[in-house]
Structure 1
Amino acid sequence: MTDKSIGRFMGGSPVWVLLQLVALSVVAGVILSALGLDPFDILNSLRRLAYHLLDFSFGTIEKLWRYFLLGAVVVIPIWILLRFARGFR
């Protein structure tokens, strides 16, 4: 292969492409590490990630449910009182 064909195959200068791939790999590694993934134990890391996402989702739903109940304790009686008050006019 000639230099031009290697450059064409890689999408640019081989050194520049290699530097870009290294930089992108580091960025991707930081993101995956923040998500709790481990390159040496990828299957367990993916399982833990799925568990944490589900736990976070259900935790969020539980918090929303509690906020709904807390607000409903105040809002619904006031709404009922307003309905009765408007009905007697």
Structure 2
Amino acid sequence: MRNDVRDLPAGSNDGLYRFLGGSPAAVAFRLILLSILVGVVLSAIGFDPWNILHSIRMLFQRLWDLGFDAVNWAWRYFLLGAVIVIPVWFLSRLFGTPRGR
């Protein structure tokens, strides 16, 4: 028949590709880029790769020392993000695809 579906024999690398989510080189490249991005963010908040436990403890110590300034700091970042996120969410709901019955 013309539209029959046939099972093809699995290749030797199909299991590896499926497990990794793509070719090993592409996955390694994405992981390297993501690691660099996360490293920049962690470096910006003061983490040190050679002494990560000390860096985490110092982060919490600084937050504790800030007291209510930490709440103010978090509130300001929340407002800054909400200025973008809430209108985009609202517009996507307003002009999104209709949900019919």
| Band of TM-score, shorter chain | 0.5 to 0.7
Structure 1 stretches (4+) deviating beyond 2 angstroms?
none
When the two structures are aligned, how many residues end up with a matched partner? 61
User: Aligned AA for 2:52?
Assistant: I
Tell me the TM-score normalized by structure 1. Answer: 0.60
Q: Distance in 1 between matches of 2:34 and 2:12?
A: 27
Q: Which has the larger radius of gyration?
A: 1
* Superposition TM-score, scaled by structure 2 size: 0.53
Equivalent of residue 22 in structure 2, options 12, 33, 39: 12
More helix per residue? 1
Q: Cα deviation per residue 1:22-44 (whole Å; 9 max; x = unaligned)?
A: 00000010111111111110111
Question: Among residues 62, 78, 84, which one is paired with 1:52 in the alignment?
Answer: 62
After superposition, what is the alpha-carbon deviation per residue over 1:30-70, rounded to whole angstroms, capped at 9, x for unaligned? 111111111110111111111111222x1628x9xxxxxxx
- Map 1:36-75 to 2 at 5 A: 36-56=46-66, 58=67, 60=69
Unaligned runs of 5+ in 2: 1-10, 73-101
Tell me which residue corresponds to 1:21.
Answer: 31
Structure 1 gaps, min length 5: 64-89
| CA RMSD after TM alignment | 2.2
Give the residue type in structure 1 aligned to 2:58. Answer: R
The CA distance in 2 between the partners of 1:60 and 1:53, in whole Å, is 9
